[in-house]
Amino acid sequence: MTHPKKKLALVIGSGAVKCAAALGLWQVLNRAGIEIDLYVGCSGGSLYAAVMALGLSAEECIEKTKSLWNRSVTKRRNWRSLLQTILPGVLGFDEFFGMVDDRPLLRNLEKAFGERTFSETRRPLHVVATNLLDGEQVVISDGRLVDALRASISIPYIWPAWRIGDQTLVDGSLVNPLPIDVAILEGAEIILAMGFESPYPHRIKSISRYAFHINSMMTNNLLRANFAFHNLAHHAEILTLLPEFDKPVRLFDTDEFSYVIDKGAKAAEEQLPYLERLLETAG
Amino acid sequence: MELISGQSNGVLVVTIQGSVDALTAGQVQGYFDDLLEKGERQIILDLSQVDFMSSAGLRVIMTVSKNLRQDGGELRLAAAQPPVEKMLKISGFTTILKSFASLDAALGSFQG
């Protein structure tokens, strides 16, 4: 059981399907009777942080996230947006550009979370997005879960930005791919941080691959820069879980779920003895 | 966790056996504080037997490095195992601390 004096947080960074590794971690923690006090998620990681914060079982989490994140969410092109790139003056190009129709994604999110709100989570949940207009980090901690998650996973160029109130929001990984700072700010002492670097394509043979490659470079370097600062800024302990994937796991490789979850469980098992010792020591 | 040190051509090599984490960081800090007080300035941290490093471990290495540099000395890292090397790389340590694949290479770097 968690020592009463030590607040334990789980931070799940961006990484699309790789974020499912957090479910492996969660299975290990559940078996060990370790409870998380606070969840923080960014981009793909926010989906998994949300289902865990709602208190679903590991099996329910796996089922829900599998049905939510699959290739159907990118099947339909947003033709109006694509035409706007060619005729920006005529069709009115704006900040809501996105090449993929977001209705399948929204349908999946609504099917998974309905009208559930942050107030229904069993433990506090914080979801990170980016304000498109000023580049600032936006931490969403209330309101509809669907809105927060839709904002946090708004991958640039793919899905349009999402409006919450007067803020136009996009993918949280643009500002903070592994938001350990949110856990620090919320008073966590022990932070389990699961982060994923974006893979680099072996060959760049299309404009989309080129864009993805550049985006990966920037996100990876941003993750490292923030991670360096957060490690040094925290007063207590951050256990960083970096699951090793010995084969590529791409954005929508949901058939690799079991493999990814196993890798997450393995990374967690390696850290478990130390985590248990940490939790047992006086605060 | 054990700390063992030995001299080699005027360079002190400190070998850590075990994990550098929140439970051992204090011990590591104290050990290096003593070394600084004794006047040691060129130190290699041999990480070949370190199986795990957390943020607390990273912080103590950073503190040791800064303290040494302030007194005109330097800490260099040697022979980190892949998981530890990954942590050092992702946290930016390899951009501000010289790190070598082997202890011999690290020792050689102080002779140049």
Partners of A193 in beta bridges:
A11, A240
Strands B74-78 vs B42-46: parallel, antiparallel or unpaired: parallel
**Touching B: A residues 148-207, CB under 8 Å:** 195, 197
pLDDT in tens, A86-112: 888 888 888 888 888 999 999 999 999
Instruction: Measure CB to CB from residue A228 to each of B52, B86, B92 and give the nearest one.
Output: B92
Q: Does residue A199 sit in helix, strand or coil?
A: coil
A278 interface with B at CB cutoff 8 Å: yes
Question: How many angstroms away from the CA of B64 is the closest CA of chain A?
Answer: 13
Question: How many angstroms away from the CA of B22 is the closest CA of chain A?
Answer: 6
Using a CB-CB distance cutoff of 8 angstroms, which residues of chain A are in contact with residue B90?
195, 197, 223-224, 227, 240, 242
Comparing CA positions, the residue from A140, A234, A231 lying closest to residue A187 is A234
Higher-pLDDT residue of A203 and A148 is A148
Asked whether the beta carbons of residue B91 and residue A231 sit closer than 8 angstroms, the reply is yes
User: What mean pLDDT, rounded, does chain A reach?
Assistant: 90
pLDDT in tens, A227-249: 999 998 888 899 999 888 888 88
Give residue A84's pLDDT band: very low, low, confident or very high (50, 70, 90).
Answer: confident
Q: Where are the beta strands (DSSP E) in B1-112?
A: 2-8, 11-20, 42-46, 50-53, 74-78, 99-100
Using a CB-CB distance cutoff of 8 angstroms, which residues of chain A are in contact with residue B89?
224
pLDDT at position B112 is 63
A139 interface with B at CB cutoff 8 Å: no
What is the number of CB-based contacts under 8 A between chain A and chain B?
53
Asked whether the beta carbons of residue B21 and residue A237 sit closer than 8 angstroms, the reply is yes
Using a CB-CB distance cutoff of 8 angstroms, which residues of chain A are in contact with residue B52?
271, 274
Q: Taking the CA atoms of B90, B91, B92 and B97 in sequence, report the sign of the dihedral they define.
A: negative
pLDDT at position B111 is 85
Partners of B75 in beta bridges:
B43
Helices first, then strands: H and E counts in chain B: 5, 6
Higher-pLDDT residue of A198 and A107 is A107
Q: How many structural domains are present in chain B? A: 1
pLDDT above 60: residue A3: no
Q: Give the whole-angstrom CA distance, residue A16 versus residue A44.
A: 5
pTM for this one? 0.90
Q: Which amino acid is at B94?
A: T
Q: Assign residue B41 the CATH number of its domain.
A: 3.30.750.24
Q: What is A156-193 written as a DSSP string?
A: TTTS--EEETTEEEEEGGGT-SS-HHHHHHTT-SEEEE
A238 contacts A180 by C-beta, under 8 angstroms: yes
Give residue A4's pLDDT band: very low, low, confident or very high (50, 70, 90).
Answer: low
Tell me which H or E stretch contains A128: strand A125-131
Q: Give the whole-angstrom CA distance, residue A270 versus residue A267.
A: 5
pLDDT at position A255 is 83
Q: Which two tokens stand for residue A15?
A: 């990484």
Asked whether the beta carbons of residue B59 and residue A232 sit closer than 8 angstroms, the reply is yes
Radius of gyration of chain A (CA): 18
Q: Which two tokens stand for residue A78?
A: 């947003």
Using a CB-CB distance cutoff of 8 angstroms, which residues of chain B are in contact with residue A232?
55, 58-59, 62
pLDDT at position A58 is 81
pLDDT above 50: residue A2: no
Low-confidence ranges of chain B (pLDDT < 70): 112
Length in residues, chain B: 112
Asked whether the beta carbons of residue A239 and residue B86 sit closer than 8 angstroms, the reply is no
Best residue in B66, B90, B94, B97 to probe A by mutation, most A CBs within 10 Å?
B90
- Domain of B90 in residue numbering reads as 2-111
A197 contacts A243 by C-beta, under 8 angstroms: no
pLDDT in tens, A39-76: 999 999 999 999 999 999 888 888 888 888 777 887 78
Name the phi and psi angles at A258, rounded to 5: -60, -40
**Touching A: B residues 39-68, CB under 8 Å:** 52, 54-56, 58-59, 62
Using a CB-CB distance cutoff of 8 angstroms, which residues of chain A are in contact with residue B87?
240, 242
Asked whether the beta carbons of residue A223 and residue B90 sit closer than 8 angstroms, the reply is yes
pLDDT at position A94 is 86
Radius of gyration of chain B (CA): 13
